[in-house]
């Protein structure tokens, strides 16, 4: 299969406050995903694991070069409904899991383009040269208030609703997945992360650490920086450099292990 592949380094850490890791992640040569679980009795780790395991199982289909791009995009979007339905089934069978859910941010590389689907407040960034850009849009009350001009960026860190999501995969059938398609260059670097990173580091701090040429060093630096800031939440980081060399990897992290 032609096109680009993800050459990755990744880590998922518990942090300094949580007793367990509710983040899950998946790394392959053509598909990356981060899921941040929340709610219920150990429900967060269950929900995020469901999301990642569904995507892992679908990866051979989603990366099949014989299937046309439109069909792949439909399958990728529908994967979110599959995940939502599985979460609903688990909640129905185990009532103590009621209220659990997960964010999900997914990158799929195919030919010479990249597809991003996203629910919640885990994020996807792109570093292209010196240009650092958040590609995902947070599904949060804060983001809606910012879009409306009701608050400023300086209000975000102290706002009482800064952690309230407007969308998450909770088995309620109400998620509205959005797909974005980007072109990319061989020099691009992508970052997928849970809000355990972005809630304690500014975009400027993240960019400076992401610019480290060695992606393994960059991953460690980002996680270490979150720990220096107290790491009140689980921290999951995936850094991916684009390459035309085929990459064979099938890695699960966090609660998905």
Q: Could you tell me if 222 and 210 are in contact, meaning their C-beta atoms sit under 8 angstroms apart?
A: yes
The DSSP code for 111 is B
pLDDT at 39: 87
Residue with tokens 């899991």: 97
Q: Residue 27 — pLDDT band, cuts 50, 70, 90?
A: very high
pLDDT band at 152 (very low <50, low <70, confident <90, very high): low
Dump the DSSP string for 148-210: HTSS-GGGGGG-TTTT-BS--B-SSS----EEEEEE--TT-EEEEE-HHHHTTS-HHHHHHHH
Q: pTM, whole model, 2 decimals? A: 0.95
CA–CA dist 251, 25 (Å, integer): 8
**Confidence at residue 189, expressed as pLDDT on a 0 to 100 scale:** 98
Q: Which CATH class is domain 5-254?
A: alpha beta
User: What pLDDT was estimated at residue 240?
Assistant: 98
Report the first-to-last Cα separation within the chain, whole angstroms: 28
> Can you tell me the mean pLDDT for 130-158?
81
Instruction: Confirm if 247 and 14 have CB atoms less than 8 A apart.
Output: no
Mapped onto helix, strand or coil, the DSSP state of residue 109 is strand
Instruction: Give me the chain's average pLDDT, please.
Output: 93
Ordered by start, the domain boundaries in the chain are 5-254
Residues in CB range of 136: below 8 A, 6 or more apart? 105, 116, 118, 122, 123, 124
1: confidence class by pLDDT, cuts 50, 70, 90: very low
Closest CA to 23 of 233, 228, 249, 201: 233
Give the percent of the chain with pLDDT over 90. Answer: 83
Q: Give mean pLDDT, residues 102-117.
A: 95
Q: Position of tokens 């040569």? A: 29
59-70 burial: b if 16+ Cβ within 10 Å, else e = beebbeeeeeee
User: Tell me: the pLDDT tens digits for 158-204?
Assistant: 666 667 899 999 999 989 888 999 998 889 999 999 999 999 999 99
Q: What is the CA radius of gyration of the chain?
A: 17
For residues 58 and 175, the model is more confident at 58
């Amino acid at each position: 299969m032609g096109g680009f592949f993800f050459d990755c380094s990744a880590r998922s850490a518990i942090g300094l406050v949580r007793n367990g890791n509710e983040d899950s992640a998946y790394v392959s040569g053509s598909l990356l995903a981060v899921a941040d679980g929340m709610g219920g009795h150990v429900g967060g780790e269950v929900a995020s694991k469901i999301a990642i395991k569904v995507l892992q199982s679908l990866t051979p289909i989603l990366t099949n070069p014989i299937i046309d791009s439109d069909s792949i995009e439909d399958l990728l979007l529908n994967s979110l409904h599959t995940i939502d339905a599985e979460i609903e089934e688990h909640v129905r069978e185990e009532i103590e899991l009621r209220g659990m859910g997960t964010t999900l941010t997914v990158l799929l590389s195919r030919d010479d383009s990249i597809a991003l689907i996203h629910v919640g407040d885990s994020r996807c960034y792109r570093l292209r040269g010196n240009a650092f850009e958040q590609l995902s849009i947070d599904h949060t009350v804060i983001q809606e208030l910012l879009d409306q001009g009701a608050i400023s960026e300086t209000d975000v860190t102290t706002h009482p609703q800064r952690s309230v999501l407007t969308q998450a995969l909770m088995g309620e059938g109400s998620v509205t997945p959005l797909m974005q398609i980007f072109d990319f260059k061989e020099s691009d670097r992508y970052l997928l992360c849970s809000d355990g990173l972005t809630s304690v580091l500014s975009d400027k701090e993240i960019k400076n650490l992401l610019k480290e040429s060695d992606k393994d060093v960059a991953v460690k630096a980002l996680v270490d920086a979150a720990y220096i800031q107290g790491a009140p939440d689980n921290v999951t980081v995936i850094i991916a450099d684009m390459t035309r060399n085929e990459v064979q990897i099938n890695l699960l992290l966090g609660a998905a292990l």
